[in-house]
Amino acid sequence: MNENQINTGLEPIRILLFSGSLSKDSLNGKLARVAASIIEKNGGIVDFASMSEFDTPSYNQDLEATGFYPPGAMELRKRILENDAFIISAPDYNGSVPGVLKNTIDWVSRFRPQPFKGKHAFLMSASPSVAGGNPGLWSLRNPLEKLGTNIFASMFSLASAHQAFSPDGNIKDHTITIRLKENLLGFMNAVEATKHYPYLKKAWAEFMDIKKDPLARWVEQSN
């Protein structure tokens, strides 16, 4: 929690954050580190991961029929379930989502219960181009939304990313940093509301002493 926050006594939100690139000097990895720092300064807990932890062999339904699940897919499932939300900083490959990332999403989508369902996600990209890799994010939205993930409406794309970072790893342009921060804080508020809102609904119903009211029953059921 930072000095500007009110201590609500509520558990901080936990966010899995990773770059969708296997490159060790990934621009998306750099953007992910800036985002992690902003989230931690604003009271969130970051579970920072790398795509290499979630790398998977090409999806093959015959392989799955033998009961095989790649360790990378099992790891991503575990990390999604351990956290309240996830953020991917994804490269744009030919106006679309990199195959390595889509392949892992496909494997993870085969687990039951299906882990993406009902989770919150924020999507970012970094690219040397003027579009900052934004077209690829629209392709990444499709499978995740199909799987029931709540994708935050705003997405963040860092243009000319090869020139955007200072030697200390921050984004040089203050205005762009502020925009990223505003996006992330908006996302964190949405995740926090979902995490704590059921408790607040229940507290409100108890305060109103409406336990016998049909609305109170709905509140109990929806917790």
Instruction: List residues binding ligand FNR (CB under 6 A).
Output: 19, 21, 23, 26-28, 91-95, 127-129, 131, 133
Taking the complex as a whole, the smallest distance from the CB of residue 183 to ligand FNR amounts, in Å, to 18
Report CA-CA distances (Å) from 102 to 7, 13, 71, 90: 39, 26, 16, 11
For residues 28 and 83, which CB has a smaller minimum distance to ligand FNR in the complex?
A: 28
Q: Taking the CB of residue 23, how many other CB atoms lie within 10 A of it?
A: 12
Diameter of the chain by CA atoms? 62
Cα 152 to the center of its chain, rounded Å = 9
Residue 9, phi-psi category: left (phi > 0), alpha (psi -120 to 50), beta (remainder) = left
Taking the complex as a whole, the smallest distance from the CB of residue 23 to ligand FNR amounts, in Å, to 4
For residues 66 and 163, which CB has a smaller minimum distance to ligand FNR in the complex?
A: 163
Cα 192 to the center of its chain, rounded Å = 13
For residues 54 and 150, which CB has a smaller minimum distance to ligand FNR in the complex?
A: 54
Return d(Cα 33, Cα 38) in angstroms, integer.
9
Taking the complex as a whole, the smallest distance from the CB of residue 131 to ligand FNR amounts, in Å, to 6
For residues 123 and 219, which CB has a smaller minimum distance to ligand FNR in the complex?
A: 123
For residues 8 and 23, which CB has a smaller minimum distance to ligand FNR in the complex?
A: 23
Taking the complex as a whole, the smallest distance from the CB of residue 20 to ligand FNR amounts, in Å, to 8
Beta-carbon contacts of residue 67 (< 8 Å; ≥ 6 apart): none
Cis bond leading into 113, ω under 30°?
Answer: yes
Q: Match 């800036």 to its residue by tokens.
A: 34
Q: Match 């505003």 to its residue by tokens.
A: 182
Taking the complex as a whole, the smallest distance from the CB of residue 87 to ligand FNR amounts, in Å, to 14
Tokens describing residue 193: 């509301």
For residues 93 and 156, which CB has a smaller minimum distance to ligand FNR in the complex?
A: 93
Taking the complex as a whole, the smallest distance from the CB of residue 27 to ligand FNR amounts, in Å, to 4
